């Protein structure tokens, strides 16, 4: 069984575990009908800023639920949080 973590729950975990975190879209690249969105999550720590980046592809012509760019951002927020061990 695979559990699904919605973006707002990932943000909740980040708020709880890493106060002061920030999130930024680093790039949006398009090749034909496929786009790739890259984001960075940055967490302030005593040692300095710690960051992780993640990228997710998405088909711009997707007929699934929601906007393709927002869906990609949601996926990437969870991936980058996962790389930090928080989501």
- Residue 49 has a pLDDT of 95
Domain range list for the chain: 21-83
- How many C-beta atoms surround the C-beta of residue 27 within 10 A? 11
Q: What percent of the chain has pLDDT over 70?
A: 91
Three-state secondary structure readout of the chain: CCCCCCHHHHHHHHHHHCCCCEEEEEEEEEECCEEEEEEEEEEEECCEEEEEEEEEEEECCCCCCCCHHHHHHHHHHHHHHHHCCCC
pLDDT in tens, 15-55: 998 899 999 989 988 888 888 888 899 999 999 999 998 88
Confidence of residue 64 (pLDDT cuts 50, 70, 90): low
């Amino acid at each position: 069984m695979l559990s699904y973590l919605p973006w707002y729950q990932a943000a909740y975990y980040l708020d709880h575990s890493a106060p002061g975190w920030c999130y930024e879209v680093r790039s949006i690249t398009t090749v034909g009908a496929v786009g790739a969105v890259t984001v960075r999550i940055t967490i302030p720590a005593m040692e300095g800023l710690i960051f992780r980046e993640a990228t997710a592809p998405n088909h711009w012509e997707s007929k699934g639920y929601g906007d393709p760019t927002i869906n990609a951002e949601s996926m990437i927020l969870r991936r980058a949080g996962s790389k930090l061990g928080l989501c």
